[in-house]
Structure 1
Amino acid sequence: MTKFYSFHGTITMINDFFTGPNGEGCYKLISVDNGLGALVNFVVSPNTYFVDHVMVSVGDQVTGYYDGNAPAILIYPPQYQAIVMVKNSPYQNVKVDYFNSELESSDGRLRLNITPFTQIVLTNGQQFSRPPANRDLIVIYGPTTKSIPAQTTPYRIIVLC
């Protein structure tokens, strides 16, 4: 179970991140400013999942998710290995978290109601044939109830294996 943390802001810079002669051009360093004086650099690797496989550029509003339990170098601005990147959209909400057997997020803020129309896939786009409970998930959804936890019927669930 990964402890997901997120950082939201505007992309201010995208550069190549040097990892060695065989990795040239495969890694990017994306700088994100939240507009309140906080900056984060995300190291984006070929394994970083971009929701909807979108291309991001300077000026885009994004949310980056990273493992809060992973070791991080002590520099400013902080630098994290991005697990999931989301280009923010007013038409969909995204939650990246561990969902338990009741399909409730680890922070207790969101509960999923799965229907036969809910698309459940792997990061490679293939159908996931098992129940999504007790897994790390990327949940793409719209409206929620005002209850605690909020409930929603997701449009799509991406299972992070």
Structure 2
Amino acid sequence: MVSFLSFSGTVTSISDFPIGQNAGSEGCYTLFTVDNGYGNIVNFVVSPTTYFVDQSIVAVGDRITGFYDANAPVPLIYPPQYRALVMAKDHPYQNVKVDYFNRQLVSSDGMLQLNLSPNTPIVLQNGQAFRGDPANRNLIVVFGATTRSIPAQTTPYKIIVLCP
């Protein structure tokens, strides 16, 4: 099971990331260096399968949040290098959470509960409508304001279902 963690900061560099001797792979993988402004730096390996929320184009100087699998193996180097599963460009009044949501639509960390409305778009990563139940799945949730309760509650702007 994927255990999502995130790291937020400013993109300080974007460079090609060679993945070995595979012909035709040059330019397909990139390395995003992200600095959180507090002395912590992370390198995200961005692959063709990395999902970019709202298909945002990221450039040096943009504030982003990268989501990665905390259970995935990583090389023991500094700065840490994670394979980005989801990237979200920061926008005012918009939050993004990537997590497993249970049958009550509460995130695995117990910090966010989703209240769906009939107008909440629920889609697959390819943009097509999702016709199943979003409960008990890994979801990308795009939302705005929340209540001040624990868990915080929100009616999402959009839900993207991460199918296995």
After TM superposition, is the score higher than 0.5?
yes
Structure 1, unaligned runs of 5 or more: none
Q: Give 1:91 shift.
A: 2.2
Map of 1:8 onto structure 2? 8
Structure 1, residues 81-122: CA drift from partner, whole Å, max 9, x if none?
A: 000001001121111100001100000000001111000000
Aligned ranges for residues 9-158 of structure 1 at < 5 Å?
9-19=9-19, 20-158=22-160
The code of the aligned residue for 1:155 comes to Y
Which region of structure 1 is more displaced relative to structure 2, 102-111 or 12-21?
A: 12-21
The code of the aligned residue for 1:2 comes to V
The code of the aligned residue for 2:94 comes to Q
Secondary structure class of the residue paired with 2:149: coil
Secondary structure class of the residue paired with 1:157: strand
Q: Report the Cα distance in structure 2 between the residues aligned to 1:91 and 1:26, rounded to whole angstroms.
A: 32
Structure 1, residues 16-36: CA drift from partner, whole Å, max 9, x if none?
A: 111132211100000000111
Secondary structure class of the residue paired with 2:24: helix
The code of the aligned residue for 2:3 comes to K
Structure 2, unaligned runs of 5 or more: none
Aligned length: 161
Q: Given the two structures, how large is their TM-score scaled by the length of structure 1?
A: 0.98
Q: Report the Cα distance in structure 1 between the residues aligned to 2:124 and 2:27, rounded to whole angstroms.
A: 26
Identity across matched positions, percent: 66
The code of the aligned residue for 2:81 comes to Q
Structure 1, residues 38-77: CA drift from partner, whole Å, max 9, x if none?
A: 1000000000000000100000000000000000000000
The code of the aligned residue for 2:37 comes to G
Q: Given the two structures, how large is their TM-score scaled by the length of structure 2?
A: 0.97
CA contact (8 A) 2:93 2:145 kept: no
Secondary structure class of the residue paired with 1:22: coil
What root-mean-square deviation, in Å, do the aligned CA atoms of Structure 1 and Structure 2 show?
A: 0.6
